[in-house]
Amino acid sequence: MQSVNPYTESVREEYDEHGEADVEEALSRADDAFEEWRERSLTDRRRLLADAGDVLRENEEKYAELMTEEMGKPISQARSEVEKCAWVCDYYAEHAGEHLQEKTVKGPEDAETYVRYDPLGPILAVMPWNFPLWQVFRFLAPHLTSGNVGLLKHASNVPGSALAIEEVLRDAGYPEGVFQSLLVDSEQVENIIADDRVRAVTLTGSGPAGRAVAEQAGENLKKSVLELGGSDPYIVLDDAPLDEAAETGAQARTINSGQSCIAAKRFIVHDDVYDEFVEKFVEEMEALDVGDPKDEETNVGPQAREDLMSDLQEQVDETVEMGATVETGGEPMDREGYFYPPTVLTDVPRDSPGGCEELFGPVASVFRVESEEEAIELANDSQYGLGGSVWTEDLERGKEVAANVESGAVFVNELTKSDPRLPFGGIKQSGYGRELGVEGIHEFVNRKTVFVQHGVGDE
């Protein structure tokens, strides 16, 4: 298994894959570890999670540089990712107690009735390369703290990040077997899901991968949570603050070099402000610094892999062939590394790749609409439903539009982002279930009803 630096196009390190015997040993360790871990006090589990946050902060530069070298993330954004991982550790270290506290439910007068939250067992997490630490920590922080144990099948281009996460938890004092990375290919996932020792599975990734995992989990009657792709609408109404909307829009489209499921992808702009917004937006996109991801000034680094850049170019070419106009960018940069420039497409047909597919790179599709109602209709005319953003000076209007956008989250006058305090997830082809917040920690627990009848056997 190779880790290839997308900036230099060179192999940075090679790793031995795990074979069937290695996987069997890991599953056995996880099963044994769960029996002890579930009995560990919640206070201890919270303390260990807080310690993991400390380890992350103490080694911020080390882990940031690792991500930058493995998948090209600009170094300033990589540091922010490490900090966010520490934040989610802090959040659940502080709040897991209240989230998992037994809930009293009023029942008969002569009975005690409540709900308790018990762990399920070993949970398989199939995770992507684009946020190689954050995607995993937002899984492990709640679910290890609730008493489960974790098995990670990370993306094959970020094996170093997978092992680094193991290192963080080991340095924090977690017992052996509570969290393990499996360096395996996707073909081995089906057998792991089918194993009786694995009790549930979560995946963040593409639609095809999500459907495959959902089918395998369903066949084995195991709980699954899926966070899949998105083509998030970014609605600019006729009373929007255009300077802020354009500046934030460029950031929302190009964060992580455009490789984010919740990046703004379809810019839906009211006719009254369309020309002015497009002009400002193109200026903001062209002003971004594209280059060495280890340079502090870089806004946009390389795409994570060459094949991803090629796939993006095919989508752009087809969209242009169908009638779209390239306002800026539009083809790979002539330089070493997998660089694709910030790109803006206008006159985008709805049935083109830029109109109905997810473009996983720094390419924005811009649409002109005549009314607020048309903006909502176009926003919802998508197979996806992950996030969305609405821009307006009238906050009540913004909340009304947000209420009508079909997605797991909508932000008014802000870009879409995840937050440990709030539930995160999608609808439609963007998946199901929630991560983060109280809703997230309850996804992989047995919400057990307990009914205690009083008076039986009393003298």
Catalytic residues: 227, 261
Strand (E) or helix (H) holding 269 = strand 264-270
Q: Return the structure tokens found at 286.
A: 């062209």
Evaluate the CA torsion angle 348, 335, 133, 286 in order and state its sign.
Answer: negative
Question: Given the structure tokens 């070419």, which residue do they identify?
Answer: 317
- Residue 124 and residue 161: Cα distance in Å, rounded? 17
241: how many CB neighbours lie within 10 A of its CB?
A: 14
Contact of 436 with 423, CB cutoff 8 Å: yes
Question: Given the structure tokens 């790749």, which residue do they identify?
Answer: 353
Contact of 253 with 364, CB cutoff 8 Å: yes
DSSP string across 173-188: TPPTTSEEE----GGG
3-state secondary structure of 98: helix
CB within 8 Å of 32: residues ≥ 6 apart: 177
Contact of 157 with 71, CB cutoff 8 Å: yes
Strand (E) or helix (H) holding 345 = strand 343-346
